[in-house]
Each structure stands twice: as structure tokens, then as C-alpha cells.
Amino acid sequence: MRLSTAHTYDAGIDNLQRRQLELAEQQMQMTSGKRVNRASDDPTAAARAERAMALEARSVASQRAVEASRNAMQTGESALGDATELLQQARETLVAAGNGSYSDSERSSLVQALRGIRNQLFAVANRSDGSGGFVFGGQGSSAPPFVERPLPEGVAFVGTAGQTVVASGEALPVTLDGEAAWLQARTGNGVFETQATTQGGSAWIDAGNVGDPAAVSGNPYSLSFSVDAAGVATYTVLQDGLPTALTNVAYQSGTAIEIDGLSFKITGQPADGDQFDVVPSEASLNVFKMLDRAAIALETLGLNGGQVTQAVTLGLRDIDASLGRLQSQRALAGEALNRIDGVEDRLAAVKLGAKVERSSAEDLDMVEAISKFQQQQTGYEAALKSYSMVQRLSLFQYINP
């Protein structure tokens, strides 16, 4: 087969250009550190890398949502901790107000301290989350979720009950339900609530307890006293307005009164016509109204020892119920923070997996790339030498040495 000089030259140039292009491509890969710089380099690997990038981007967006939820729950947990401390102070103040040796003026100063604590609690309930919302805003509120209204309504929740959650792979809260935290503790002891409806004497009723849960009827009861001219007191208990077996029972101070699994004590000397009610517990205890009620009761002038004890006893009962409610809400915030930690760990794992997948699809094996580059460089140098020799293969070289 005959090869012309022109064909030999063209083949040599094509070989040089091809090797130069391969060398440039290899150099670009080494510079970028990636095996796939364009989709045309490896369509399959480019698609894998694109899917991994999308997954990583979603993980980053979800991570921002997790951080927003974490900040909100930390702020909420801190606010509930502050509220718990304030209620503890209110409890101590109420205990001090029960001192039988205090005068009306001395008790009044403690009532003012109690009102100050109540106002601090109101500020905590309307605490901002730092991003234009409110910690206890429920499902969103552009204005403070709690407002002051004239008694007997008192503080009311004007937000929307529930929680706002972030849009991520898992539902994570960014607010707390203010109504549930502050206005929905169970009244009384959680099963029934004792009330001093009419209290002309020094008798007072305790919070009571449940002796036999199976016997509890859930009906309301009223206990009224009759005191004769000799000062002998008897009481009658009505169930939902109807007579019971406890009719005209001789009264003994401090002796437990039991009916349908319920047990409570009345202590002190009642007046004729005094009445105490026992009603089913409801999830409607308002922290602020409870403190207002205790303050109003204690600032009344001329209270006898039994009336002071009654106000303090019922106030302490309600504070304990409110404390239990706030602590349970704080536990829910803590549980949410634990769940956020778990979500964050899972997102980190997904993000790492996406990075590994992307790296596997498009990253360059540098050791292999350097070896290949050196081979291509050697081949390119050999092609240059070969072409330079082909250039000298001319008849004129021999005619004109």
C-alpha cells in the first residue's frame, strides 16, 4: 500500500491534535477534581450526581426548618421554666398570707406582691419568639395572644388553639398552644372541685380526695348547714338537687365526709345557712383568674380565721394544679427538643449519604488521574517526535543534502 507524504503529514497532525485534546481534558479534570464536568462526560454519572445534589438541597432546607423549631422550643421551654418559678413564688406568698396573726394591712401587702407576680406571668404568656411571632401564639397570631378584659372574664386567649408546625419531612412545632398551657388546667383535685359558696362562719372545706374511683358518679353535690339555737350543727348533702342518705347528719369538725367514692373534710364552726359545693372537675382553670380570685378573697377586710384559711387552701390547690399543667407543657417542649435532635441526626445522615453519592458519581480518583496524565503526556511527546521525523521524510532532503 502506498502512502503519500501529504497523508502522512495529515495523520500526524490529527494524532497530535487528538492527544493534545485528551491531555487538556485530563488536565481540566485534575484542576477541578471532578471526573464529570459536563453531562456529556458521563450522562449516567451526571444524572446520579444531579439526584444527589437535589437530595442534599432538600436536606439543607429541612435543616433550616429544624433550627427554627429548635429555637422556638428552647424559647418556649425557658418561658415555661420562668412561669414555674413565678408560680412557686406565688405559692410561698399565699402560704405567708395564711398567717392567722396578720392584720388586714399586712395581708394587703402580700396581696400586692401576688398581683405583681400575676402581672409577670401575663408578660411571660405574651413573650415574643424573636421572629415577629409569639411563643404561645398557637396556630399563629400577629398580636399578643393574651388580652386583659374586665372581671369576671379576666385574661382571655385571642389566638387560635393548637400549634404551628414547620414544613419539613417531619412535623415539628414552632409555637406552643397558649390556651392549653395557661387556661386548661383541671380544676379542683383533678376529679372534683370543692367550693365555699356561702361562708358566714369559720368553717372551711379542704381540696378532698378520691377514696373509691369506681364509685365516683360525676354528679354535683351541695352541702348545707343548719345550726340551732344551742349551736348544734347538722348538714345535709344533695346530689344534683336531690336528697341523699346524708340528711341532717350531726357535724363534727375535721371528720371526713364520704359520698360516692369522694372524701373531703370541713373544719371549723359553720354558721346557719353556710353552703359548700362539690362539682366535677373541668379542664378550665385559668392561671390568671385563679390568682385574681385568690387576691380578691384575701384583700377583703374583716375576714375571720376560717375564711382566710379557706382562701389560702383553695388558692394553693389551684396553684398546684396550674403548676402541674405548666410542667406537663414544659415536658412536651422537652420531648419536642429530643425529637428535633433525632430529626437533625437523620437529616445529617441523609445529607452525608447524598454527598457520598455525588462524590462517587463525579469526583476524580486523583492518583489514577495523575498516572493517566503522565501516560498521555508521554504519548504526546512521542507523537511530537514521530511527527518531527515524518517531516524530514522528503525527497528534497536527499536531492539537496
More confident residue, 20 or 328: 328
Each residue of 35-82: pLDDT tens digit?
A: 666 656 667 766 676 776 776 777 777 788 888 888 989 999 999 999
Give the mean pLDDT of the chain.
Answer: 84
Which residue carries 370541713 as its cell? 266
* Contacts of 8 by beta carbon, 8 Å cutoff, 6+ apart: 390, 393
CA pair distance 177, 141, nearest whole angstrom: 11
SS3 233: strand
Whether the bond between 173 and the residue before it is cis, its omega within 30 degrees of 0, is no
Say if CB 124 and CB 134 are below 8 A apart: no
CA pair distance 240, 187, nearest whole angstrom: 19
CA pair distance 115, 149, nearest whole angstrom: 16
* Contacts of 158 by beta carbon, 8 Å cutoff, 6+ apart: 141, 143, 145, 146, 147
CA-atom Rg of the chain in angstroms = 42
What's the confidence (pLDDT) of residue 130?
80
CA pair distance 118, 124, nearest whole angstrom: 10
At 105, which amino acid appears? S
Confidence of residue 212 (pLDDT cuts 50, 70, 90): very high
Each residue of 86-129: pLDDT tens digit?
A: 999 999 999 999 998 899 999 999 999 999 999 999 999 999 98
Residues 163-170: what's their mean pLDDT?
74
What's the confidence (pLDDT) of residue 342?
87
In the beta sheet, which residues pair with residue 258? 263
Cα–Cα distances in Å, from 375 out to 76, 207, 382, 384?
Answer: 64, 92, 11, 14
What's the confidence (pLDDT) of residue 374?
64
Say if CB 235 and CB 293 are below 8 A apart: no
Provide the b/e sequence for 360-383 (b: ≥16 CB within 10 Å). ebbbbeeeebeeebeebeeebeeb
CA pair distance 64, 61, nearest whole angstrom: 5
Is the pLDDT at 227 greater than 80? The verdict is yes
Of the candidates 193, 179, 116, 118, the residue with the CA atom closest to the CA atom of residue 145: 179
E strands present in 109-171 = 146-147, 156-157, 165-166
Is the pLDDT at 21 greater than 70? The verdict is no
C-alpha cell at 346: 437523620
In total, the chain counts a number of residues equal to 401
Say if CB 382 and CB 20 are below 8 A apart: no
What's the confidence (pLDDT) of residue 386?
64
Instruction: Tell me the H-state helices in 229-269.
Output: none
Q: If you average pLDDT over each of 18-27, 78-87, 373-382, which comes out highest?
A: 78-87
CA pair distance 77, 332, nearest whole angstrom: 9
Is the pLDDT at 260 greater than 90? The verdict is yes
Each residue of 268-298: pLDDT tens digit?
A: 999 999 999 999 999 999 999 999 999 999 9
Confidence of residue 348 (pLDDT cuts 50, 70, 90): confident
* Contacts of 283 by beta carbon, 8 Å cutoff, 6+ apart: 184, 185, 186, 187
Least confident of 140-144, 243-247, 311-315, 323-327: 140-144
What's the confidence (pLDDT) of residue 11?
66
Instruction: Tell me the H-state helices in 102-197.
Output: 104-125, 178-182
